[in-house]
């Protein structure tokens, strides 16, 4: 969602940088025609607007040396470990240069070093404490559902009642990241809690209603529920709502589910993204052996 600051940056770029308004509207059309995520476009165009305002001209009119100096200043001044301003500027410029037919400029931009920090997860004891913490059933069900299905916050708030199939025990995630749909198993335990919640709360259309009539719950509200539950549960770890998704993936791997299936359940586009959980999961070591012994296990027992 655009903030007042975003509108100011965009408005200034359209008013002062020659050609920016044309670029904005053309890129917006391309995103719509390709079915790409609107949020991605808004993030990219905001960064392109900032670059254009800094130089008072469009990025293709900026020399590589000038651009590298600008990006270097972003990288050095970024306080957060993710260096999001730098990263999104690079991503946005790559996207832009491909659009204007300058792929060589895109390739020459600095490569982004992967963040080697492993995600934090909650253990099963902490999760039990967390799910008991909220006073409202709605909040308990919300947090439990996010963990039980490995949902992103946006996926949870966009769930409709019709997306829950109690008979087939499935959850239909529609048009999520990368504009992909996916089906996730509905936990037997979760189905009982959801049925109780629906009978008590009687939400309309959206599985979790927001304050305004006919609106879904907000991501900000979910974050508040999570913070309050963590505080009440006395959990000392620095966690967010997304920690529940990390915990889901890690626990599935520890339960023996193969990494490819976990990738599909999470809706990842690349297996490399999912493989980070292999570094966290505590899986029992299997003694080296020949597969012939597991082919004929009974013969080995009588040895």
Q: What is the domain count for the chain?
A: 2
Taking 60 as the threshold, does the pLDDT of residue 24 lie above it?
Answer: yes
Cα–Cα distance for residue pair 79/156, rounded to 1 Å: 30
Band of pLDDT at residue 178, cut at 50, 70 and 90: low
Same domain, 144 and 224: yes
Same domain, 20 and 98: yes
Cα–Cα distance for residue pair 243/222, rounded to 1 Å: 13
Band of pLDDT at residue 203, cut at 50, 70 and 90: very high
Same domain, 23 and 59: yes
Same domain, 243 and 141: yes
Catalytic site residues? 152, 177, 242, 245, 268, 277
Q: Can you give the pLDDT at residue 127?
A: 96
Same domain, 23 and 149: no
* Residues 9-22 pLDDT 10s: 888 999 999 999 98
Q: H or E segment at 142?
A: helix 137-149
Ranges of beta strands (E only) in 76-176 are 164-165, 170-173
Taking 50 as the threshold, does the pLDDT of residue 81 lie above it?
Answer: no
The overall pTM is greater than 0.85: no
Same domain, 12 and 93: yes
Domain range for 179 is: 124-279
Same domain, 49 and 134: no
24-28, 109-113, 299-303: which has the minimum mean pLDDT? 299-303
Same domain, 56 and 146: no
In a domain? residue 298: no
Phi/psi of residue 57, each to 5°?
-160, 165
Same domain, 149 and 67: no
Cα–Cα distance for residue pair 300/122, rounded to 1 Å: 40
Taking 60 as the threshold, does the pLDDT of residue 52 lie above it?
Answer: yes
Helix/strand/coil for 183 = strand
Q: Can you give the pLDDT at residue 202?
A: 94
Same domain, 63 and 164: no
Taking 50 as the threshold, does the pLDDT of residue 1 lie above it?
Answer: no
In a domain? residue 66: yes
DSSP sequence for 224-269: HHHHHHHHHHT--S---THHHHHHHHHHHHHTT--HHHHHHHHT-S
Q: Can you give the pLDDT at residue 29?
A: 82
Taking 60 as the threshold, does the pLDDT of residue 6 lie above it?
Answer: no
Same domain, 213 and 144: yes
Phi/psi of residue 184, each to 5°?
-125, 140
Taking 60 as the threshold, does the pLDDT of residue 7 lie above it?
Answer: no
In a domain? residue 114: no
- Which structure tokens are listed for 166? 């109690």
- Which structure tokens are listed for 291? 């597969």
């Amino acid at each position: 969602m655009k903030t007042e600051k975003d509108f100011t940056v965009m408005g200034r770029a359209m008013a002062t940088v020659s050609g920016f308004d044309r670029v904005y509207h053309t890129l917006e059309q391309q995103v719509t025609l390709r079915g790409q995520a609107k949020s991605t476009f808004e993030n990219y165009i905001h960064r392109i607007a900032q670059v254009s305002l800094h130089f008072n001209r469009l990025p293709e009119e900026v020399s590589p040396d000038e651009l590298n100096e600008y990006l270097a200043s972003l990288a050095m001044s970024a306080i957060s470990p993710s260096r999001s301003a730098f990263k999104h500027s690079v991503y946005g410029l790559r996207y832009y240069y491909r659009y204007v037919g300058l792929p060589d400029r895109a390739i020459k931009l600095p490569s982004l070093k992967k963040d080697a920090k492993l995600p934090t997860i909650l253990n099963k004891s902490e999760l039990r404490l967390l799910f008991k913490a909220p006073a409202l059933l709605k909040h308990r069900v919300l947090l439990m559902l996010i963990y039980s299905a490995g949902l992103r916050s946006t996926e949870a708030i966009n769930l409709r009642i019709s997306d829950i199939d109690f008979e087939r025990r499935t959850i239909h995630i529609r048009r999520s990241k990368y504009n992909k749909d996916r089906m996730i198993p509905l936990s037997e335990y979760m189905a009982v809690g959801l049925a109780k919640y629906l009978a008590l709360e009687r939400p309309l259309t959206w599985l979790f209603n927001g304050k305004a009539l006919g609106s879904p719950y907000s991501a900000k509200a979910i974050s508040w529920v999570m913070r309050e539950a963590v505080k009440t549960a006395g959990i000392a770890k620095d966690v967010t709502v997304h920690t529940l998704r990390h915990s889901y993936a890690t626990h599935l791997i520890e339960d023996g589910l193969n990494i490819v299936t976990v990738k599909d359940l999470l809706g990842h586009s690349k297996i490399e993204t999912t493989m980070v959980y292999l570094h966290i999961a505590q899986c029992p070591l299997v003694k080296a052996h020949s597969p012939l012994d597991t082919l004929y296990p009974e013969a080995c027992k009588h040895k």
